[in-house]
Amino acid sequence: MNDTLLLAKDTLFTTNHYLTNITIAIIIFIIGLILGGLAGKFIHKIFKNFDDKLKKKTGFKYSVISLISALIQVSIYLLFTVLALNYVGITSLLLNILFIAIILILSISFILALKDSLPNIIAGWIIKRKALINLNTKISLENIDGTIVDMNMFEVRIEAKNGDILHIPNSLFMKTKYVKKKN
């Protein structure tokens, strides 16, 4: 009888311990959700003016600050999720492998996204820095005559004599021979 009573007390204590750990893990997870949301909004509000200036200067139509704030937000979510799972004792080799796989996939995706953009950004910087061309410059390249109507970090837009707008990536423009014409 005494052994049964001790076994029941031990089982009750163990169950109570697990329920307490699960409750604390849920609280940690909810705190992570709140902090992640607040951090994302905070970063976005602080750098909103910078983002607007960056869009105007580069011609980039997407919000870089929104992307950064979303990455910070997701990072905080992941951190607190891992902390909550660790508190319960579920963190294992599988969770660590999953986390590393996600980081690798995101890194590879980021590198592949930059693969085409980075050469155009560098070429755009060179075009602006060396003032190779300006807006409203008449230009002839290969068999096309036209006027430069827009330049940004990714492309040069030329309005041909027939009214067509040609979008030429900066990296390709830098490789193409062109002649500036007198106005």
106-137 pLDDT, tens digit per residue, is 988 888 877 778 888 888 888 888 877 888 88
Residues forming beta bridges with residue 159, ordered by sequence position = 147, 165
Domain ranges of the chain: 2-91
**What is the model's pLDDT at position 10?**
64
SS3 181: strand
**What is the model's pLDDT at position 76?**
92
Q: First-to-last CA distance in the chain?
A: 106
pTM higher than 0.75, yes or no? no
What's the CA gap between 141 and 139, in Å, rounded? 7
| pLDDT cut 70: percent of the chain above it | 87
Note every long-range contact of 61-70, with CB atoms under 8 Å and residues 24 or more positions apart, other chains counting. 68/43, 69/39, 69/40, 69/41, 69/43, 69/44, 70/40
2-25 pLDDT, tens digit per residue, is 666 555 566 656 677 778 888 888
Six token digits for residue 51 = 């983002």
